[in-house]
Amino acid sequence: MDTQLADFIRDTHAGRIAGEILRKCVHCGFCTATCPTYQLLGDELDGPRGRIYLIKQVLEGREVTEKTRSHLDRCLTCRSCETTCPSGVKYSQLLDVGRQVVEAKLKRPLRESLPRTLLKTVLPNPALFAPAVKIGRALKPLLPSSLADKLPPLPETGRPWPVKQGHSRRMLTLAGCVQPTLAPNINAATARVLDRLGIELFEEVKAGCCGAVRFHLNDQARAKDDMRRNIDAWWPHVEGGVEAIVVTASGCGVQVRDYARLLADDAVYAGKAAKISALCRDPSEIVAAEGERLRALLPASPRGKLAFHSPCTLQHGLQIRGIIESLLAAAGYVLTPVADGHLCCGSAGTYSVLQPELAEKLRINKLTALNAGGPALIATANIGCLTHLQAGGMTPVRHWIELIDEALT
């Protein structure tokens, strides 16, 4: 696509990235067919091709309007369009640039900026989030459904982490920001499964939010501070020979995998960020690599019907497809077919709070597809999808690693 970037962006790092991406787009529109917001709204400007065109106009110096911002806000950043695009257009990277410019050029009204400020202050900070959840649970009947949805029942007291086994293989895991409060069993279950596979898993308490919350709310500077803090916290373990950094929420995994790109122009952190990204693994990659050993440990007992919801961050972000389904089948589950598995469930980080109507429509569609085969359980790989789907239906939703852990006991 022919693009004449305006002076304010042409010779910047962001401008060079955006210009390169825009040149790759041939405007064919294949991506539009797999875009969830286009499917719901039927407006070209609520699909990837239209949004690319809007961003191009903004970067060429056209006036930024509230209408432009609304179309960009309605994007889920699900990256289904990237999977579809035959030209390899990195839409999400262009969107990052476009959203940052729009945010800088057009001040949001208080009704929009206040919830964003609250979300990026509370969610990444467990010291604020944990008490907020406690208060929220007490006041749940009074909250709007988009917020009440985010408050699952108190998690069951899970089984403890395995006692240190002295395995020679050691891996770090990210505790993250909301997951320890909402579902602390996920990392403990991962530690138990890896322990059975001869791997010690541990958390570094000085690490925190991966940066995704602030990054996707356009606070990219503070998101990069989150990333640098994690790198500093993890670095002594990296130097100590840790084999991998296992991230059990695929939404956080895709962010950590992206540290290398996001900090590429940071003179101090670029090298370390590249190493951290190279070490980042989804737990499915670790467990699948030990597939033979796992299968030998799993009892051959049928476990009933299960539907797997593959988060966008897993299938479109990390490009991991089919691995978890195979592991669950090996554990004795019969996987039911799920139509339109490439479409987002509507969770998308803070999207379900900021765009509740669209998120609700997407959730209804997703739960209908997931429940079509009559599963007793739904499994997924990301805490955001898990809480969002659980709040909308009766079928229990679990992280897949918890099911492998239970199958091993």
List of residues contacting ligand SF4 (CB under 6 A): 25-31, 35-37, 47-49, 51, 75-81, 85, 87, 89, 91
Closest separation between CB of residue 46 and ligand SF4, Å? 8
Closest separation between CB of residue 185 and ligand SF4, Å? 30
Q: By C-beta, is 348 or 378 nearer to ligand SF4? A: 348
Closest separation between CB of residue 172 and ligand SF4, Å? 30
Q: By C-beta, is 272 or 316 nearer to ligand SF4? A: 316
Q: By C-beta, is 39 or 125 nearer to ligand SF4? A: 39
Among candidate residues 233, 276, 232, 269, the one with its CA nearest the CA of residue 253: 276
Q: By C-beta, is 79 or 398 nearer to ligand SF4? A: 79
Q: By C-beta, is 71 or 281 nearer to ligand SF4? A: 71
Dist CA 269 CA 235 (whole Å): 11
Contact 234, 205 (CB under 8 A): no
Closest separation between CB of residue 58 and ligand SF4, Å? 16
Closest separation between CB of residue 308 and ligand SF4, Å? 20
Closest separation between CB of residue 221 and ligand SF4, Å? 23
Tokens of 234: 């993890």
Q: By C-beta, is 91 or 269 nearer to ligand SF4? A: 91
Q: Between the CA of residue 70 and those of 154, 285, 398, what are the distances in Å?
A: 35, 37, 33
